[in-house]
A and B are shown apart, each in its own frame.
Chain A
Amino acid sequence: MSTLYDEIQEVRALYPVSRSATLPALRLAQERYGWLSEEAFREVAKALDETPAYCMAVASFYDMYHLKPVGRHLVEVCTNIPCALVGAQQVLEAFESELGVRAGETTEDGEVTLRTVECAGGCGWGTVVAVDHRYRERLTAGDVPAIVEGIRSEAGNAS
């Protein structure tokens, strides 16, 4: 398996100025470790010839980087206006009750993190929910139990 350092060097080569690889490099680190820890920042910084502070500053600007540990699965419910108009809050609450956590939290077993996100770009097909970055559309609260079960069984199979 290639090292994070090597992977980042490959990405750097795609750009005329290698700093452009910062976002992809942070993504690679997050895919590897689940979130961006202090150590992950140091590793990315070294591979990019940047300071850890710089990498942290960039990562903290963007919503998709996790600066704190998250569950193995990520459920993101769009609660922006178009989805909210068609029941996003009810969908969110269904997830909260199925998972037993509030939005922004991770289940006790560390499997699932639930959070709300701004407009996911599926407005005409709301409510949009991204499960591990795969969009599920036209969801209503009634769809939630099956989705949660799906996540849980996948989690069960994996472990």
Chain B
Amino acid sequence: MSATETETATVTVDGREVQVPRGTGLVETAAAAGIEIPVFCYEPRLGPAVGACRMCLVEVEGVPKLQAGCTLTAQDGMVVRTAQSSAKAAEGQNATLEFILVNHPLDCPVCDKGGECPLQDLTFKYGPGQTRMTFPKRTFDKPIPISPAIALDRERCILCYRCTRFSSDVAEDGQLVARNRGAQSLITTFEDESYRAPFSGNVIELCPVGALTSTQYRFEARPWEIQNVPTVCGLCPVGCNISATTREGKVKRILSRNHPEVDQGWLCDKGRFAFPHLYAEDRIVDPLERERRRGFGERSWDDALDLAEALLRGAQGRIVTALSGSETLEQAYALGKLLRQGLGAHSAVLAEATSSALDAFRAPLSSIADAEIVVVVGEDEVADRAPIVELWIKQARRNGAEVVRLAEPKLGEELEQRVSSSERAILIWSGRGGGGGARLAELGHRLGLDEKPGCAAFHLPATPNGRGVTEAWAAAADGEEENPEPIGLLIVSGDEAASDPAVRALAEDAEHVLAITMFHGLAVGWADLVLPGTSYLERDGSFFNLEGRVQRLRRTVIPPVPDELAWIAKLAERFGVELSPHASVVFSELSEKLYGGMSYGEVGERASLPDRATYTAPTPAPVAPIPPAEAPPGDHFLGTLKLRRYRPLFSGSAVERVAELQFQRPEPVIELAAADAERRQIASGEIVSVRSNGTSVQLRASISRLLAAGTARIAEEHAADLHRDIEVVKP
């Protein structure tokens, strides 16, 4: 940091002296003196202040006109008077509110924002008590759905432009814009199309009035009826900090809970809008046993535990556990302890490869924003794996960073040179075959990133808690893994495992299957016993995020079924394994082994990131080395392509069950490398036939610059029964 940045400025606000670093925003400076400068448009996360709403007018000594406080920064000797000590400033703010309200409908009684509305609050504090407006107000059709998830009431809109600035300057999706000029200005999308972008929901929280509201929350609750429970999102490996708004035991909405190092208060739309999956019609609320004629029958929990015990004992140790990577640390540990200590069943199908070698490159996600060069390796969209990371990368680019995207970890001499000579270089692995970060760690070490605190490397896992689950499972007991043949009992833990074709293939060979899933469609029919699962919003526990941060999940509502820890503990008792049903106790136990005995108290509301570890070369060698790019299949006009399945952001069992997210789901597309498309004379947008192994699907072709020749990408949900080698032809 340069000397000027650390210089202190003494500023007097309403007679109170306060010292802040020179250049601190005046709004923050006043706050440091305990004084509020009210704002609507000011929101530092959206970039430089715009001074649009004029709510923050203050008097600055030596300047004749009132100034927009939000646009000023602390300079030494500055004397500022806010509405609290300046009649002129008070008059200015009162005027601003009067102008804002001349065209505002004042429909607070029927407005979802009522009670938590900055416009209400500031009008109460600074505004006129009555209106002098006797003419027709501007009226609009309302509310307009700008997407199935967001409603827009243009009459309430005060044109602060926070939402459009978010769209253009943060998410950079350019979809939500202002139309027209002056008093005719209005917020809109193009031709009334839906605001279809991964982060659209943030505009609801940014809106300082009731103009942009959530359709899910519409007329659902009043602020005095709700409880906001702090937790973290469990849908991806970032673990954005969230609050779940609950009313009468039901989740009504998800709000961000700014962790400046992790999410900056932004959420993706999956994290924000997916909660109604808790109330999906096909949610399993009773244990289900497979029956010959009906397919399945409901069982009491006592019977179900007897059945489970019988299945476990009957397998005589020939048990394999397929984990989802979405279990809490506590759940994975408990399951591991039960099965491994109690039954000696050490075999597990892990959700994905993991590596601790990355701990030598640890840094908060926020460090990406300060980077001067960011190299993203891999063929998956960052937003598909860890959405918020995409926003950090965008911020880095806006701050002047160079962002390089490569399909494969071949940086080339020149780029390697620039990365290794930079003090602020970031490597990100967003794709398959990274050995859970091992290969990235090797690369990072070779380029010397572990030696420089401003550099970091992030592997974007495919599952929310893959590494945590793997390590908790490993910590639960000692014992060698053996691959039972045949499998006596396959335990399928969680929805993701249940939808994994590889796990299903194992199930076909297993003598028995015990599945833990939330929804009917997933395992009912092929599992002998299905035990109801819970959601991340219903569990107490913790996740280990992609930075290496242990974060706390809270039970925001009581689930309709006992949570996993409760019945695992009961089963454990039957096998003589001592296991608490309480997450905090289980955490203490696993924390002794994994996290130096850290307690929930130390994890806290906004978890901190442990220090960097010293680099140790990954052992064993990366489990799944990236396959070398196969040579283009010569002149074989109809040669096969290797299918890469991936999970788009808006996919998965939760998203599938939320009406407001259907429009966000990916279109049936096959991504082709330019060379392969050319060879087949396929143009972008054409419908092609994709065949393998006797099945065939029709998909729209899309040409991807990132894809290596000889490969093709199809979203998991559209790849259906396709095998690894596919033929792509024009129908």
Contact = CB atoms under 8 A, between A and B. Distances in A.
A90 to B, nearest CB: 28
A54 B174 CA distance: 6
A56 B190 contact: yes
Interface string A123-142: 00000000000000000000
B168 interface: yes
Interface stretch (A45-53, A75-83, A148-156): A45-53
Contacts, number: 33
Interface string B174-194: 111111110000001111000
B173 interface: yes
A53 B189 contact: yes
A53 B180 contact: no
Given A60-B181, A61-B181, A38 B174 contact: no
A57 B177 CA distance: 6
A54 B180 contact: no
B190 A52 contact: yes
Interface in B146-186: 164, 168, 173-181
A60 B174 contact: no
A51 B176 CA distance: 10
B190 A51 contact: yes
Contacts of B174: 50-51, 53-54
A56 B188 CA distance: 10
Contact of A54 (B168, B181, B191): B168
Interface string A52-68: 11101100110000000
Contacts of B176: 53
A95 interface: no
A35 interface: no
Interface string A21-53: 000000000000000001001000000001111
B177 A53 contact: yes
A51 B177 CA distance: 10
Contacts of B177: 53-54, 56-57
B179 A51 contact: no
Contacts of B175: 51, 53
A104 B397 CA distance: 45
Contacts of B189: 53
A38 B191 CA distance: 7
Contacts of B173: 51
A38 B192 CA distance: 11
Chain A interface, DSSP helix/strand/loop, else mixed: helix
Central interface residue in B164, B174, B181, by most chain A CB within 10 Å: B174
Contacts of A57: 164, 177-179
A60 B175 CA distance: 15
**Which of A41, A54, A60 has the most B CB atoms < 10 Å from its CB?**
A60
A60 to B, nearest CB: 5
B179 A56 contact: yes
Nearest to B175: A53
A51 B172 CA distance: 10
Contacts of A54: 168, 174, 177
A50 B164 CA distance: 15
A53 B181 contact: no
Nearest to B187: A57
A29 B255 CA distance: 43
Contacts of B168: 54
With most chain A CB atoms within 10 A of its CB, the pick from B164, B179, B189 is B179
Nearest to B184: A60
Contacts of A41: 190
Contacts of A61: 180-181
A148 B179 CA distance: 34
A53 to B, nearest CB: 4
B403 to A, nearest CB: 16
Nearest to B195: A53
Contacts of A51: 173-175, 190
A58 B48 CA distance: 21
Contacts of A56: 177, 179, 190-191
B711 to A, nearest CB: 27
B317 to A, nearest CB: 59
Nearest to B173: A51
A60 B180 contact: yes
A58 to B, nearest CB: 9
A61 B174 CA distance: 16
A133 B190 CA distance: 29
A100 B248 CA distance: 65
A125 B220 CA distance: 63
A15 to B, nearest CB: 19
Nearest to A54: B174
Interface string B283-315: 000000000000000000000000000000000
Contacts of A50: 174
B427 to A, nearest CB: 27
Contacts of B181: 60-61
Nearest to A50: B174
Contacts of B191: 38, 52, 56
A26 to B, nearest CB: 14
A79 B174 CA distance: 36
A53 B175 CA distance: 6
A38 B190 CA distance: 9
25 contacts: A38-B190, A38-B191, A41-B190, A50-B174, A51-B173, A51-B174, A51-B175, A51-B190, A53-B174, A53-B175, A53-B176, A53-B177, A53-B188, A53-B190, A54-B168, A54-B174, A56-B177, A56-B190, A56-B191, A57-B164, A57-B177, A60-B179, A60-B180, A60-B181, A61-B181
Q: Nearest 6 A-B pairs (CB), nearest first? A: A57-B177, A51-B174, A53-B190, A52-B190, A60-B179, A53-B177
Given A51-B173, A51-B174, 13 more contacts: A38-B190, A41-B190, A52-B190, A52-B191, A53-B174, A53-B177, A53-B189, A56-B179, A56-B190, A60-B179, A60-B180, A60-B181, A61-B181
